[in-house]
Amino acid sequence: MRASSSCQSSMSLFKARDWWATVLGEGEEFDQGCLCVGDVDNSGSGHDKIVVGSYMGMLRIFSPHPAKPGEPSPADSQLLEMQLRDPVIQVEVGKFVSCSDLLHLAVLHPRKLSVYSISGTAGNVEHGVQYQLKRVYEHNLQRTACNMTYGTFGGVTDHHSLCIQSMDGMLMFFEQESYSFGRFLPGFLLPGPLCYCSRTDTFLTVSSVRQVESYRLSGPWSWGSRPWTSVSPPSQSNRIASLFAARPLSCFLPYSSVSEGTTNTLVGNHNNMLLVYQDVTLKWAAQLSCSPVAVRLANFLDLKGVVVTLSSEGHLQCSYMGTDPSFFSTPKVDAREQDYSQIDTEMKSLQRVIRQATRTQADILPVVETDEDLTVTATVSTNMDSTSQALIPDIDGLPVPSVTVKIKVKSRCALQGPKLTVCVQPPLAVTQEQFLLEPLGVGSTTVVAFSAFLNGQYPPADLTGDVAVSYSSPTGIPRVAQCKFSLPLRLVCCPSSPSKNAKYKITVDTNKPPVNLSEVFPDFLEKSEDKEGNALAFHFLSGPRVTVLASKTSQRYRIQSESFENIWLVAKELVQRFDRHFAKQGVKDFRNSFAGPIPLAEYFETVDHHFELRVSAEKYQDLLSERAIQFRAIQRRLLTRFKDKTPAPLQNLDTLMEGTYRQVIALADAAEENQACLNQAFVRLRSATHLLILLVSLWLGLNTEQNAILEATLLPLLQDTPQLGWEESVDAAVSHLLRTCLSRSPKDQALSLSTSQLSMPKDTVRLKKHITVLCDRLGKGGRLSLASEANVPIPVMMPGGCEPIAEAVADLEEPPLQQESAAKFMKKKQPSKKVKPKTDKESKDKKVSAAGAVKETVEEPVEEPVEEPVKELKKEKKESSKEKKKESTKEPKEPKDPGKESKKESSKDSKEKKESTKESNKESSKVASKESLKEPGKEKVSRKSSVKVKEKKKETEAAAGEG
Question: What does the alpha-carbon distance between residue 262 and residue 258 come to, in Å, rounded to a whole number?
Answer: 8
Polymer length of the chain: 963
| Beta pairing class for 434-436 and 419-424 | antiparallel
Closest CA to 493 of 438, 411, 548: 548
d(CA 182, CA 814): 83
3-state secondary structure 114-153: EEEEEEEEECCCCCCEEEEEEEEEEEECCCCEEEEEEECH
Query: Residue 548 in contact with residue 570, Cβ under 8 Å?
Result: yes
Distances (CA, A) of 564 to 282, 569, 599, 764, 776: 94, 11, 10, 19, 22
Residue 723: the pLDDT is: 83
Are 247 and 241 within 8 A, CB to CB? no
Q: What is the dihedral of CA 550, 552, 553, 557, to 10 degrees?
A: 0
Residue pair 808/857 in contact (Cβ under 8 Å)? The answer is: no
Closest to 453 in 3D by CA, of 545, 381, 397: 381
Query: What pLDDT does residue 359 have?
Result: 67
Q: So what's the pLDDT on residue 259? A: 63
768 within 8 A of 808, measured Cβ to Cβ? no
pLDDT in tens, 820-872: 433 333 333 344 334 444 444 444 444 333 333 333 333 333 333 333 433 44
Half-sphere exposure of 464 toward its Cβ, with a 13 Å CA cutoff?
A: 6
Q: How many CA atoms lie within 13 A of 680 on its CB side?
A: 13
Distance between CA atoms of residues 236 and 241, nearest Å = 8
Q: What confidence score (pLDDT) does residue 136 get?
A: 93
pTM to 2 decimal places:
0.49
Q: Is 103 left (phi over 0), alpha (psi -120 to 50) or beta?
A: beta
DSSP 484-519: EEE--GGGTEEEE---S--SEEEEEEESS----HHH
- Single-letter amino acid, residue 106: A
The predicted structure's pLDDT at residue 379: 93
Q: Which residues contact residue 257 at a Cβ distance below 8 angstroms, ignoring those fewer than 6 apart? A: 263, 264, 278
Q: H helices within 406-541, ranges in order?
A: 517-520
How confident is the model at residue 580, as a pLDDT?
87
In angstroms, rounded to a whole number, what is the distance separating the alpha carbons of residues 483 and 467? 5
Q: What pLDDT, on a 0 to 100 scale, did the predictor assign at position 12?
A: 46
For the residues of 286-347, what is the DSSP string, one character each?
EE-SS-EEEEEEEEETTEEEEEEEEETT-EEEEEEEEEEE----PPPPP-----HHHHHHHH
Q: What pLDDT, on a 0 to 100 scale, did the predictor assign at position 532?
A: 66
How far is residue 287's CA from residue 271's CA, in Å, rounded to a whole number?
Answer: 9
Task: Tell me the residue type at 772.
Answer: T
At residue 528, the pLDDT reads: 56
CA 239/CA 209 separation, integer angstroms = 20
Interacting residues of 936 by C-beta distance below 8 A, sequence separation 6+: 809
Helix%, strand%, coil% for the chain, nearest 5:
35, 25, 40
- Integer Cα distance of 598 and 507 in angstroms: 11
Question: Which stretch of DSSP H or E encloses residue 612?
Answer: helix 600-643
**Per the omega criterion (within 30 degrees of 0), is the bond before 804 cis?**
no
pLDDT given for residue 194 in this prediction: 92
Element of type H or E holding 731: helix 726-739
- The radius of gyration of the chain from alpha carbons, rounded to an integer in Å, stands at 45
**Nearest to 129, CA basis, from 73, 83, 80, 93:** 80
Report the pLDDT value the prediction gives residue 825, as an integer from 0 to 100. 33
Task: Work out the number of other CB atoms within 10 angstroms of the CB of residue 792.
Answer: 12
- For residue 753, the model assigns a pLDDT of 62
Res 482: pLDDT: 92
**pLDDT tens sequence across 766-807:** 999 999 999 998 888 888 877 644 444 444 434 433 343 343
By CB neighbour count within 10 A (0-12 exposed, 13-18 middle, 19+ buried), where does 652 fall?
A: exposed
CA-nearest of 289, 332, 338 to 314 is 289
Positions in the chain whose pLDDT score sits under 50? 1-12, 220-238, 241, 362-369, 788-950, 952-954, 958-963
CA distances from 787 to 360, 705, 747 (A): 7, 12, 15
- Distance, in Å, from the CA atom of 407 to the CA atom of 416, rounded to the nearest integer, reads 18
Asked if 149 and 203 count as a contact pair (C-beta separation under 8 A), the reply is yes
